[in-house]
Amino acid sequence: MAKQPITAAMVELRAAITEAETISAKAEMTKRDEARVNVLLAKIAALRKDAVAPDDSTFRWFRTFLSGSDPTPELRGMQEGTQTISWTDGSQGGYFVPQEFYNTMVYGMAQYDPLLDENVCTVIRSDSLKLRPYRLPGWDLSTFAATKVAESAQQLAGTPPTSAGQQLNGFMYRLTLDATLELEQDDFQPIMDQMQAAYTIGFARGIGEDLALGNGSTAPQGVLSGASNSGVTLSTGFHTVLGPNASNTDNIDFQPAYFSVNRYHRASPRCAWVMSDATYQWVRKLTDGVGRPLVSIKKDVEVLMGKPVLVSPSIPSVNASLGTPGYIVFGDLAHYFVRVSRMTLTRNTQAANAIEYGKALYTGRMRADAQVFDPSGGNTPPLTYITLTA
């Protein structure tokens, strides 16, 4: 196990403690010695806060948790007349992972699916597992405009914009991993890193699928489910063996979808195209009338008609063998609100098909919800979609 690095604050703290002990060991202390000891005690109290590495106490707690001992006393006991063991489970059904663990995991989830990226969508993080109902307020500004008033005229009562709101809740997502007891006790850092990677991919894949296709009632509302139909249908010429075939096209094929979104939304810094990797492969092969690729590079970002192209693995692609269409979503992703909770972790050493093999089960839990917020009620939708056929 790696030792904690010695910091300058730790060295200064040790020196202050040594000096205070030396002065206190004197047979007789002068008033000057007493004053010096008081100064040193105050200095020691201040240095102790800086001498410990950030989150060190949390990681000591987490190390204790992963090594097989609960950081808080666990109450167990056989219930008379039953054959079950009951125990305390920690706050909210588990223990919060360290903040650094959680931050790295959320960052990794955003790399897997851009719909979890706070720089792409409006992501709201909670500091607990509980996601109490959260109201999104807004106004329909699609026709809202100021009126000109003459200097000597009385201003007439204006029509305020229609207020709107949508509610975010929280759907539970759960992942289970197992690990041998020997690995827990011998290799804290490797198992923590592996858990971090596993939970990152698992939660990103599970939550990300609903962020693309969720119905908004029994799951978070997906960005495709909440987008309006642009009325545009494009043929990919998809071949079941060769994949998407390249064909010449012109920007005019994408223009109806581009202009189906109001300029106010198109001018947003978060306006982008969202598609699957297979669809992106097809778009990369498209050229305009003079042979130039439709997708270009602008400041290390791949853009189509001046807007970034984002690849989300859960957006459907064309499947010619099943006769299912694919989709491309376009618009202002700032209007796509994603809410995620902190992650909690529980450790179970009594799980069937695990303890008999010398393993413990780790269960991670997160809550999430999402909504496409359109205060205009569909009059000026912030997001629209293109339908792709084979």
Q: Which of 2-6, 7-11, 255-259, 263-267 has the lowest mean pLDDT?
A: 2-6
Domain match, 41 and 127 both: no
Domain match, 219 and 129 both: yes
Phi-psi region of 323 (alpha: psi -120 to 50; beta: other; left: phi over 0): left
Higher-pLDDT residue of 350, 94 = 350
Domain match, 18 and 131 both: no
Domain match, 290 and 206 both: yes
Q: Which residues lie closer than 8 Å to 297 by C-beta, 6 or more apart? A: 303
Domain match, 194 and 133 both: yes
Return the structure tokens found at 36. Answer: 């010096």
pLDDT at residue 293 in the model: 87
In a domain, 100, yes or no: yes
In a domain, 142, yes or no: no
- Count of domains for the chain: 2
Return the structure tokens found at 72. Answer: 């808080």
Q: Which of 130-139, 259-268, 366-375 has the lowest mean pLDDT?
A: 130-139
List the beta bridge partners of residue 134. 168
Comparing C-alpha atoms, which of 218, 202, 229 is closest to residue 113? Answer: 202
Phi-psi region of 233 (alpha: psi -120 to 50; beta: other; left: phi over 0): beta
Q: Is the pLDDT of residue 48 over 80?
A: no
Domain match, 188 and 42 both: no
In a domain, 248, yes or no: yes
Please provide the average confidence, as pLDDT, over all residues in the chain. 79
Assess contact for 98 and 59: CB atoms under 8 A. yes
Can you give the pTM of this predicted structure?
0.72
Domain span at residue 352 reads 96-137+162-390
In a domain, 196, yes or no: yes
Domain match, 172 and 315 both: yes
Domain match, 219 and 107 both: yes
Domain match, 300 and 359 both: yes
In a domain, 44, yes or no: yes
Domain match, 12 and 102 both: no
In a domain, 85, yes or no: no
pLDDT at residue 276 in the model: 94
Where does residue 278 rank: exposed (0-12), middle (13-18), buried (19+ CB within 10 A)?
buried
Domain match, 295 and 351 both: yes
Using DSSP bridges, classify how beta strands 307-311 and 85-86 pair: parallel, antiparallel or unpaired.
unpaired
Comparing C-alpha atoms, which of 43, 51, 57 is closest to residue 8? Answer: 51
Assess contact for 217 and 370: CB atoms under 8 A. no
Domain match, 6 and 103 both: no
How confident is the model over 341-364, as pLDDT tens digits? 988 888 877 777 777 777 878 888
Cβ count near 95 (within 10 Å): 18
In a domain, 277, yes or no: yes
In a domain, 239, yes or no: yes
List the beta bridge partners of residue 95. 345
